[in-house]
Structure 1
């Protein structure tokens, strides 16, 4: 949580309301979900790279945050290339593996699509403070306060969750019960942490109820969540990226509406 907070006020995009970041990510993802083609994903990814320059994070932070995406994208593409629906020229075939011109095209489109959908979500939310997000969801989106505050409290518990896991591991090692049986040790620690989390959640819910977090009627908020020109500009940029990707794919003749009959 401290890492999130350290970037909470840096960069142009960092000062934008988290609700706008959520909306921009959704606008970018919609056309990429509806179509599976190389052109739309490539155009969207290229335009997103320009947007990343204003996120206010360095290259080291960028790679540390996005490495799971860069790992998942080629693995997904490899699966499509080996086991995707064959079409066109078949280059290699063995048992259930069949590499063809069509499967390679789908693999390339899948690779770019995963990057174009996942990278904006990761980068835009690096600079999001959980409390700002909760304020925006409750005051702008008008989600129920009980749901928003419960989610915020749970998110704030992630740091304690990791601390508890390390404490349990050190305690088990001190007692000499964690030297072997890696799978058994993991299951035992997971069960102990589950019990501890349930107890902490029950205490936290009782404490929040006692402080009036579950009271009926409209509640007040310590900080006002504003939605102004910067937020509408980011939404417009997200819509422009989506429109450019769709137009480029249609003009290139590669638009492949995956929900269609064919």
Structure 2
């Protein structure tokens, strides 16, 4: 038996069914994409940060995992600020770019919304095991077994891409073909990895077919995908954050429905 170190914080999200995490993320995102305003996005983001404290993810892991979201959000805001809808006072104008009060407000709302949607998706999915996700999709959502098992096999092969890339690079260096022409080398190496991936996928498909994974009979599953009050609580939390954000936007008069005029 492995002893649990009490000094290491336990992530309470880890035992939750991956389908519940997926559902909570989708419910929250659905509420936030209905409107483009900074009030709903900021309220949702604040509530999410409070929840993140209780999840107790290590700080280093949190910042490393969510770094792409923190980088993408400001870049999206810059684009919206330059080319978004022009309203009010125009502060800067050059060629097709025009920065105005309306575009800045829209950019702020977009940045906050990207963070509010992207951060919980990363945090909730960072510890998901692909096999548990496949079990949940097949047993709880009743998705076709062929689709689920094929996707699971593909996800398992993703980790091999980096190893294959390193092996190809070392092999080309050993043959002396990687000393010059960096762009051409990368293109040739990418094509070689593409061919290798097709061959490996074909071999895997043949092996899975030989073991009966493509049969039309009702499949059984080695592990049960649990679902209980904990899963409903996670989904309710995601929906509650989204609804509170909507209420705050409506109450403040900042509600801006995406299909409105």
TM-score scaled by length of structure 1: 0.94
Structure 2: any 5+ residue segments left out of the alignment? 1-8
Match in the other structure for 1:257: 257
Summarize deviations over 1:95-129 as a string: whole Å, max 9, x none. Answer: 22211111110010010011011111111001111
CA distance in 2, matches of 1:55, 1:186: 41
Task: List per-residue Cα deviations over 1:170-215 (Å, max 9, x = no partner).
Answer: 1111111111211111110111111111111111011111111111
Task: Tell me the equivalent position of 1:67.
Answer: 67
What is the CA–CA distance in structure 2 between the aligned matches of 1:169 and 1:131, rounded to whole Å? 31
Residue in 2 that maps onto 1:83? 83
Spell out the pairing of 1:45-124 with structure 2 (5 A cutoff).
45-124=45-124
Shift of 1:92: 1.7
Look up the match of 2:43: 43
Aligned mates of 1:151, 1:55 — CA distance in 2: 28
Cα shift readout 1:62-86 (whole Å, capped 9, x = no counterpart): 1110111111000010111111111
| Aligned twin of 1:206 | 206
Judge which range, 97-106 or 20-29, deviates more.
97-106
Distance across 2 between alignment mates of 1:199 and 1:97: 47
Whether the 8 Å CA contact 1:14–1:56 is kept in 2: the answer is no
SS in 1 for 2:14: helix
Unaligned runs of 5+ in 1: 1-8
Q: 1:63 to 1:102 in 2, by over 3 A?
A: same
Give distance in 1, aligned partners of 2:114 and 2:169.
35
- What are the residue-to-residue correspondences of 1:1-262 with 2, within 5 Å? 10-260=10-260, 262=261
Per-residue deviation, residues 117-159 of structure 1 (Å, max 9, x unmatched): 1111111001111110000000000000110011000000011
| Residue in 2 that maps onto 1:6 | none
Contact 1:39 1:254 in 2 (8 A): yes
Shift of residue 91 of structure 1? 1.4
Q: CA deviation at 1:56?
A: 4.2
Q: Normalised by the size of structure 2, how large is the TM-score?
A: 0.94
Q: CA RMSD in A?
A: 1.2
- 1:36/1:257 contact within 8 Å kept: yes
* Aligned length in residues: 253
